[in-house]
Structure 1
Amino acid sequence: MGAQLRVYRQKIRSAQTTKKITRAMELIAASRIQKAKARVEASTPYANAITRAVSAVAVHSKTDHPLLTEAEKVERAAVVIFTSDRGLAGAFNSQVLREAEELTELLRSEGKEISYYLIGRKAQGYFSFRRRASERTWMGDTENPVFETAKEVSDSLIEAFVRPVAEGGVQEIHLVYNRLISMVSQVPQVTRLLPLQIVEGVADASDQAEALYEFEPEAEVVLDKLLPDYIESRIFNAMLESAAAKHAATQKAMKSASDNADALIRDYTRLANNARQAEITQQISEIVGGADALSG
């Protein structure tokens, strides 16, 4: 009985230590998510505005730009996967990797080869464990994204898009990342970055608004300037969305872990009390038995 009681008490101490850690991580994630959400809210209007601007130029200029023209037959596509550098975030990484695998199956069923660009150590570890190749990997700042990384990713994607397919170039670029819906819901999002998809409503108003557009300098020069900014802003916005979703997922996972630790402490405390009561009962029985033997 004594050995069993010591085991229960040791498990109680272990669960209490685990609860302190998970509770601290929950509070840290809760403090960071507000700043992450504010960064998303600040970047989203600009990303949406520049997307509409590029769409308007593409519709009203009637020009064939390399980043806007869809190939008659797409032979190779790029998939950019946004994960985190660290775990302890529930299904955050697994659901975005699963979404990327489903997208891969869809693209391959259409006869397209896939090139992967990975953001986050979890994506890199996933591909490395399965011995799968990727073009480039970025790690180190997924929880607090910086624009310099987004620009580096953008430059790599543009270079791959304008490169001929025979030399390893791509004709489509897709983004796969987690989008923050609420504190308890993070949904994988798939977006085609290039060729540009015209924003809904821009093409419908082309006839009425066409007279309002005059390009100075030429439309090609305007697109040359706007398109890199568009790609950088969309990638940076996706990185911010992924970071905010990661903090929310971490808070949710750590709260669940703290609740489970509480449940373990309650269960082991009840078992320890039962073991202690059994030990006391046994000791009383031994005392009574010894007393009876002496009196006899």
Structure 2
Amino acid sequence: MGAQIRVYRQKIASTTSMQKIFKAMELIATSRIGKARQRVAASLPYSNAITRAVSAVASQSEVNHPLTTEPDNIRRAAVLVMTSDRGLAGAYSASVLKQAEHLIELLHGEGKDVTTYLVGRKAQAYFDFRGRDYAKVWTGGTDAPEFETARELRKTLLADFATDFDEGGVDEIHVVYTQFKSMVVQEPAVIRLLPLEVVEEEVESSSDLLPLYDFEPKPEDVLDALLPRYIEARIFAALLQAAASELAARQRAMKSAGDNANDLIKKYTRLRNNARQAEITQELSEIVAGADALNAS
């Protein structure tokens, strides 16, 4: 009985230690999620403004620009996968990787080669474990992305997009990330970054009309200047949403883990008390039996 009680005590101590870690990580994620949501909200005005500007240039002028022209034959696609650097975030990274696998399978089914670019150590570990190739990986700071990372991603992707297919270039670029909708809902999403798809939306009021522009210099030069910034803004917005989603997923996962640890502590405490009670009962029985034997003699 004594050995069994010691085992339960060790389990209670180790579970209590883990519960403290879970609680600390939950508090850290909770403290950071507010700033992450503010960064997502702050990025929207600029992203919306540059999207309207690019749409106005592309829709109000007949421009044959490489970044907005659909290739006749798409032979290779680039897939940028955004995961986390650290675990303990529930199914956050697994959901993104599952969505990426579905997209890669779909592209292969269309007869396209796929070149992958990874963000986060979880994606790197996933591809390394399976012995699969990837063009480049960016790690560090997935829960607090910097704009410089988006700039490096833009430079790499645009350089490969401008490269010929025979030299390893790509014809289209897709981004797989997690879209932050609320603290409870975060969904994996796929966007086609390039070639740019300009969709003419229905106008509900006069305030929704795109303004008329006179272009100086030429529309091609304006697009040359706008599109790289537009790509940066889209990538950075995806990084920010992925970061907010990661923190929200980690906060929920750590809260659930802490609750489960508390349940385990209660269970082990009850089993330890039962074992102690059984030990005491056995000792009392032995004392009574010994006393009876002495009286009988």
Residue 178 of structure 1 aligns to a residue whose secondary structure is strand
Q: Which runs of 5+ in 2 are unaligned?
A: none
Distance (Å, rounded) in 1 between the aligned partners of 2:210 and 2:24: 57
Distance (Å, rounded) in 2 between the aligned partners of 1:107 and 1:289: 80
Distance (Å, rounded) in 2 between the aligned partners of 1:99 and 1:174: 12
What is the deviation of 1:221? 0.6
Residue 9 of structure 2 aligns to a residue whose secondary structure is helix
Residue 181 of structure 2 aligns to a residue whose secondary structure is strand
Task: Tell me what 1:218 maps to.
Answer: 218
Task: Tell me what 2:157 maps to.
Answer: 157
What is the deviation of 1:45? 2.3
Task: Tell me what 1:191 maps to.
Answer: 191
What is the deviation of 1:214? 1.2
Deviation beyond 3 Å, 4+ runs, structure 1? 202-205
Distance (Å, rounded) in 1 between the aligned partners of 2:243 and 2:187: 13
Q: Indicate whether 1:229 and 2:214 are aligned.
A: no
Whether the 8 Å contact between 2:81 and 2:118 is mirrored in structure 1 is yes
Q: Which runs of 5+ in 1 are unaligned?
A: none
CA RMSD after TM alignment: 1.8
Distance (Å, rounded) in 1 between the aligned partners of 2:274 and 2:78: 61
Q: Percent identity over the alignment?
A: 60
Structure 2 CA distance for partners of 1:203 and 1:58, relative to 1, 3 Å: farther
Q: If the length of structure 2 is used for normalisation, what is the TM-score?
A: 0.96
What is the correspondence of 1:242-281 to structure 2 with a 5 Å cutoff? 242-281=242-281
Q: How many residues align?
A: 294
What is the correspondence of 1:53-64 to structure 2 with a 5 Å cutoff? 53-64=53-64
Whether the 8 Å contact between 2:19 and 2:257 is mirrored in structure 1 is yes
Distance (Å, rounded) in 1 between the aligned partners of 2:91 and 2:266: 27
Distance (Å, rounded) in 1 between the aligned partners of 2:67 and 2:252: 40
What is the deviation of 1:200? 4.1
Residue 178 of structure 2 aligns to a residue whose secondary structure is strand
What is the deviation of 1:44? 2.0
Distance (Å, rounded) in 2 between the aligned partners of 1:200 and 1:118: 32
Q: Indicate whether 1:289 and 2:283 are aligned.
A: no
Structure 2 CA distance for partners of 1:224 and 1:236, relative to 1, 3 Å: same
Paired amino acid for 1:50: I
Whether the 8 Å contact between 1:29 and 1:251 is mirrored in structure 2 is yes
Distance (Å, rounded) in 1 between the aligned partners of 2:155 and 2:106: 26
Q: If the length of structure 1 is used for normalisation, what is the TM-score?
A: 0.96
Once the two structures are superposed, residues 207-266 of structure 1 have per-residue CA deviations (whole angstroms, 9 ceiling, x without a partner) of xx7992211111011000000000000001111111110000110110010000011011
What is the deviation of 1:53? 1.4
Paired amino acid for 1:177: Y
Whether the 8 Å contact between 2:52 and 2:210 is mirrored in structure 1 is no
Paired amino acid for 2:215: F
Residue 84 of structure 2 aligns to a residue whose secondary structure is coil
